[in-house]
């Protein structure tokens, strides 16, 4: 068992960290204030090969694995968690939905533009009355000859307002409830597919999140991914991978805030000595270092379990729980350790604290992760 990153993984981490610090850091405060999504910076991430990291080359991927992907999401989120989630939604939730269900032709058609072409993908599962209870969707897809007609609305769709492709879960047999869910690929510009309310959020403010609405939206039958009725299981499998992405996002936020606090404690002097010479603060950092380390180990285990073909649902749930709780804890403590400065936007940690909160909520609340973990304990 080797707990160190390989030379190749360490190099990837270094490359993404340098990109994030050089390119993402300068405008991150402004993007948060103005809720503006940096599509050009996102496209630079695509050109670096980040979005397709864990997929095979024939689908526009890089032939890497989920650990590479987790490292990259972490490093992006260390500086800009909004781009971190946008990346994760394209790779894990959109990419995963297609990869886990589509035939060869569909995979090439719908993965390549997102993984290597700079198109944005999104994931339409959640509805106003189907959040934690994902199987409670009411969006329907009625088969009519060689097409389906979709009617309904999804909410909280990350990348929604900008997306070129959306993986939409809709009922083909409403009477079967979640067992009647099927997956469809809807392209931007399809008549009847519109964007509703764009959300004004507490955190990840540069990420674009909206309602996505389907009104008599005609989707060709060849855009059904997988079989009718497979949708719920495809969504669950896809979310297992997505949780590794959100865990990586949480860990990145935690690492970013920790580093800001560490440097601050070394530089800032009060009562004639640097702050870290107060044992209370040094011990606080020791505790946070342990919180981050355990979260990182769990994330890397979940990512390697997935990459090497072992069951990973439970490990992904544990990683999501630990990493996102670490994000909340470390950012909250960092704001406190930086005192008045921590409350000010220039020091970044207040934004990181706001960004951290959603990681405990989306892609399955942390209560849902506990349900999954405890469910496996008492089978």
The H or E element that residue 212 is part of is strand 209-220
Minimum distance from residue 176 beta carbon to ligand CAA (Å): 11
Name beta bridge partners: 212.
154, 195
Q: Is residue 158 a contact residue for ligand CAA (CB under 6 A)? A: yes
Q: Closer to ligand CAA at the Cβ: 210 or 276?
A: 210
Minimum distance from residue 60 beta carbon to ligand CAA (Å): 22
Are 57 and 63 in contact by the 8 Å Cβ rule? The answer is yes
Please identify which of the residues 105, 222, 363, 367 carries the catalytic annotation: 363
Distance CA 348, CA 63 (A): 34
Interaction with ligand CAA in 169-198: which residues (CB under 6 A)?
178
Q: Is residue 94 a contact residue for ligand CAA (CB under 6 A)? A: no
Are 69 and 115 in contact by the 8 Å Cβ rule? The answer is no
CA-based max dimension of the chain: 79
Out of 90, 119, 125, 141, name the contact with ligand CAA by CB under 6 A.
125
Name beta bridge partners: 377.
none
Minimum distance from residue 101 beta carbon to ligand CAA (Å): 12
Q: Is residue 294 a contact residue for ligand CAA (CB under 6 A)? A: no
Helix (H/G/I), strand (E/B), else coil: 215: strand
Distance CA 219, CA 217 (A): 6
Q: Closer to ligand CAA at the Cβ: 328 or 335?
A: 328
Q: Report which of 253, 255, 246, 343 is spatially closest to residue 28, judged by C-alpha positions.
A: 253
Q: Closer to ligand CAA at the Cβ: 111 or 155?
A: 155
Q: Within its chain, how far is the Cα of 298 from the centroid?
A: 17
Q: Is residue 126 a contact residue for ligand CAA (CB under 6 A)? A: yes
Out of 37, 156, 184, 276, name the contact with ligand CAA by CB under 6 A.
156
CA dihedral 290, 299, 240, 138 (to 10 degrees): 40
Q: What is the DSSP annotation of 345-362? A: GGGSHHHHHHHHHHHTTS
Q: Is residue 236 a contact residue for ligand CAA (CB under 6 A)? A: yes
Whether 363 is a known active-site residue: answer yes
Minimum distance from residue 158 beta carbon to ligand CAA (Å): 4
Residues at the site binding ligand CAA, with contacts judged by CB under 6 A: 85, 89, 93, 123, 125-126, 132-135, 156, 158, 178, 232-233, 236-237, 239-240, 313, 362-364, 368, 371-372
The catalytic residue positions are 363
């Amino acid at each position: 068992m080797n707990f160190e990153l390989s030379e190749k993984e360490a190099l990837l981490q270094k490359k993404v960290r340098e990109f994030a610090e050089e390119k993402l850091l300068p405008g991150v405060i402004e993007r948060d204030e103005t809720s503006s999504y940096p599509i050009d910076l996102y496209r630079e991430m695509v050109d670096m090969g980040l979005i397709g990291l864990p997929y095979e080359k024939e689908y526009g991927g890089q032939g890497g694995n989920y650990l590479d992907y987790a490292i990259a999401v972490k490093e992006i989120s260390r500086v800009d968690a909004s781009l971190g989630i946008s990346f994760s939604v394209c790779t894990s939730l959109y990419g995963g939905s297609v990869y886990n269900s589509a035939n060869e032709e569909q995979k090439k058609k719908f993965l390549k533009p997102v993984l290597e072409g700079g198109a944005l993908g999104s994931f339409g599962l959640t509805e106003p009355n189907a959040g934690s209870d994902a199987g409670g969707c009411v969006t329907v897809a009625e088969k009519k000859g060689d097409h389906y007609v979709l009617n309904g609305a999804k909410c909280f769709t990350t990348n929604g307002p900008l997306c070129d492709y959306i993986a939409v879960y809709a009922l083909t047999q409403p009477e079967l409830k979640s067992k009647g869910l099927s997956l469809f690929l809807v392209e931007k510009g399809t008549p009847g597919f519109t964007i509703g309310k764009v959300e004004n959020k507490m955190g990840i403010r540069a990420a674009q999140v909206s309602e996505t609405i389907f009104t008599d939206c005609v989707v060709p039958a060849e855009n059904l991914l997988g079989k009718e009725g497979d949708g719920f299981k495809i969504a669950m499998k896809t979310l297992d991978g997505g949780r590794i992405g959100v865990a990586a996002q949480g860990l990145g936020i935690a690492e970013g805030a920790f580093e800001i606090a560490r440097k601050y404690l070394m530089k800032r002097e009060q009562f004639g000595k640097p702050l870290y010479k107060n044992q209370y603060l040094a011990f606080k950092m020791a505790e946070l270092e342990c919180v981050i380390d355990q979260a990182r180990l769990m994330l890397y285990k979940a990512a390697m379990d997935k990459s090497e073909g072992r069951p990973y649902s439970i490990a992904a749930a544990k990683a999501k729980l630990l990493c996102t709780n670490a994000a909340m804890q470390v950012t909250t403590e960092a704001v406190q350790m930086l005192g008045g400065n921590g409350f000010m936007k220039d020091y970044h940690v207040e934004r990181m604290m706001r960004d951290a909160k959603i990681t405990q909520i989306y892609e399955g609340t942390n209560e849902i992760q506990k349900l999954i973990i405890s469910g496996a304990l008492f089978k």
